Amino acid sequence: MDEVFKALADPSRRRLLDDLNARNGQTLRELCAGLEMARQSVSKHLAVLEAANLVTTVWRGREKLHYVNAEPINAIAERWIDRYHQGRVGALAGLKQALEQEPMSTNEFVYTSYIKTTPERLWRALTDPVFTKQYWGCEFTSDWKPGSTMAWEQHGVKQEDAEQVVLESAPYRRLSYTWHTFTPEFAKSVGLDDDVSAKVQAESRSKVTFDLQPVGDTVKLTVVHDGFDGGSTVLEMVQGGWPSILSSLKTLLETGEPLPEPA
């Protein structure tokens, strides 16, 4: 965590985070345009933020896009904020909220975590229903071949659909699939009201991609969930729920126990 506090100590780096929080997924050129700094200086600040995992990057063709990553702030919150009175750590709590709130101008969720595990164990945690049930509360059934369908079972409701499929599957490196179908039965099982249920059922189907990259004795996991409609209700749900799910995945692989389910 030393790298996180060092990175946040500089006002220029905090400004970069503010700019990305206002409009996530910017190129270096776009970030430079909003700051009175040379391109080289912005690049150096971004390198420090990336080293602290406060910023993650995704390539789109020839463009390198930068995203705020809330994972380090989640780790700080889990270590201290839940243990002490909120008033004593208001600054960290405010930063956590700022980094996790829905960015104003992006239709995707991007999150990077470094997990002390192997690509093989992480792959199993993403595809084995015994694992996914522990940290996600959801079981997947599939042969994990591109084009194969996936069955989701959660809260006693099984969801199957011809468009609920595996898109890419390169074991231990990359996995991508379409997001599940929002059926009335699912909405009822998770307590969605009729208005929210109607909205999510009317939206286009999104997709999620997991990239696994070995880094020393850890694996860098980058999650990109995209394909949302503008003003997506599903994206709001993902922004609110996925940081907790991915933190629980990390904790499960590193300690053998998932995080307690939020109240």
Question: Which band of pLDDT confidence, cut at 50, 70 and 90, is reported for residue 70?
Answer: confident
Give residue 45's pLDDT: 93
Q: For position 203, what pLDDT does the model report? A: 95
pLDDT grade for 61, boundaries at 50, 70 and 90: confident
Average pLDDT value over all residues in the chain:
87
Mean pLDDT score, 169-176: 98
Q: What's the pLDDT at 44?
A: 93
Q: Is 103 exposed, middle or buried (0-12, 13-18, 19+ CB in 10 A)?
A: buried
Beta carbons within 10 angstroms of residue 166's beta carbon: 20
Among 1-15, 27-41, 85-99, the range scoring the smallest mean pLDDT is 85-99
Rounded distance between C-alpha atoms, residue 205 and residue 101, angstroms? 22
Q: What is the mean pLDDT of residues 153-159?
A: 92
Which pLDDT belongs to residue 152? 94
Check residue 79 and give its pLDDT: 62
Band of the pLDDT at 240, cuts 50, 70, 90? Answer: confident
The SS3 of residue 15 is: helix
Q: Residue 22 has what pLDDT? A: 84
Report d(CA 87, CA 262) in Å as an integer: 21
Predicted confidence band at 74 (pLDDT cuts at 50, 70, 90)?
confident
Alpha helices in 114-164 (DSSP H): 119-127, 129-135
Which sign, positive or negative, has the C-alpha torsion 149, 153, 154, 155?
positive
Is it the case that residue 138 has pLDDT exceeding 90? Answer: yes
In 74-202, the DSSP E strands lie at 109-115, 138-141, 151-154, 157-159, 166-170, 174-178
Choice among 25-39, 46-60, 92-106, 184-198 with the minimum mean pLDDT: 92-106
Q: Which residues contact 24 (CB under 8 A, 6 or more apart)?
A: 67, 68, 103, 105, 106, 108, 110
* Mean per-residue pLDDT, 6-31: 89
Instruction: Report pLDDT for 97.
Output: 53
> Is the pLDDT higher at 74 or at 43?
43
Q: Which range is least confidently modeled, 83-92, 125-134, 140-149, 197-206?
A: 83-92
Confidence (pLDDT) at 89: 45
- Name the residue with higher pLDDT: 103 or 162: 162
CA-wise closest residue to 68 among 100, 92, 42: 100
pLDDT at 164: 96
Q: Among residues 189, 204, 194, which one has the least CA distance to residue 157?
A: 189
Q: Is the pLDDT of residue 88 over 50?
A: no
- Which amino acid is present at 80? W
Taking the C-alpha atoms of residue 187 and residue 31, their distance in angstroms, rounded to an integer, is 40
